[in-house]
A and B are shown apart, each in its own frame.
Chain A
Amino acid sequence: QSVLTQPPSASGTPGQTISISCSGSSANIGSNPVNWYQQLPGTAPKLLIYGSDRRPSGVPGRFSGSKSGASASLAISGLRSEDEAEYYCAAWDGTLSAHVFGSGTKVTVL
């Protein structure tokens, strides 16, 4: 059972905007930055968002992150077929003294 809670799935049609939630606690999201990773089928995870709302070089502006209290969200606007992937949130947990990941959300483009 993951420390960070994500919905198992999300979907949308091309061009739509979808949002993925990540719920934690004061020990993790509530007091530390959130990172998001995209894992395309059969590949390694890739850093998508760091520091809750920053994009690494090369990540399209369609991806955005936000954080409020002990929850965070990843939004994908202008959804494209190549966005079909598993998305994981992650943060440092000060109580567990561990890097913790969410359970993952599978995004399907209809």
Chain B
Amino acid sequence: QMQLQESGPGLVKPSGTLSLTCAVSNGSITPNYYWGWVRQPPGKGLEWIASVYSTGSAYFKSSLRSRVTISVDTSRNQFSLQLTSVTASDTAVYYCARLKLRPNDAFDIWGQGAMVTVSS
């Protein structure tokens, strides 16, 4: 069964850049799927951030677009998220997930999540 694992700093200073990587194991980043990031602030619901295809083509939540970079490295079987100019409101558990885009747009495999706290 494919597995996804997030990694990155758990603490980021305000105005800094949040960087996370999702490693894919027991499978490959293939053209059949998109790969995405979803976050969950403490005690709150899920929020989609961005998704990327194996070619690097990406799309973003409009309110976050100016601060988000998402990329894919098929040679290393991983994809990454960068979020700039972070504030306390970016504190959340960040999940990476595999996305079957059409017809159902379902996130079918999820990583365990990485808690990122924005604080000085």
Contacts and interface: CB of A to CB of B under 8 A. Distances in A.
Contacts of B108: 47, 50, 56
A51 interface: yes
A71 interface: no
Contacts, number: 65
A37 B104 contact: no
Looking at chain B's contact residues, is the secondary structure mostly helix, strand, loop, or mixed? strand
Contact of B106 (A43, A47, A101, A103): A47
Interface residues of A, number: 27
B104 A51 contact: yes
Contacts of A50: 100, 104, 106, 108
B20 to A, nearest CB: 14
A99 B47 CA distance: 8
B114 to A, nearest CB: 10
Contact of A37 (B47, B103, B107): B107
- The interface centre, meaning the residue of A2, A98, A101, A102 with most chain B CB atoms within 10 A of its CB, is A98
A45 B110 contact: yes
A68 interface: no
Interface in A62-110: 88, 90-92, 96-104
Nearest to B110: A44
A21 to B, nearest CB: 16
B45 interface: yes
Given A44-B95, A45-B110, A97-B59, A51 B103 contact: yes
Interface of A: 2, 32-33, 35, 37, 43-47, 50-51, 54, 56, 88, 90-92, 96-104
Top-7 shortest CB links A-B: A99-B48, A50-B106, A44-B110, A101-B46, A92-B105, A51-B104, A35-B106
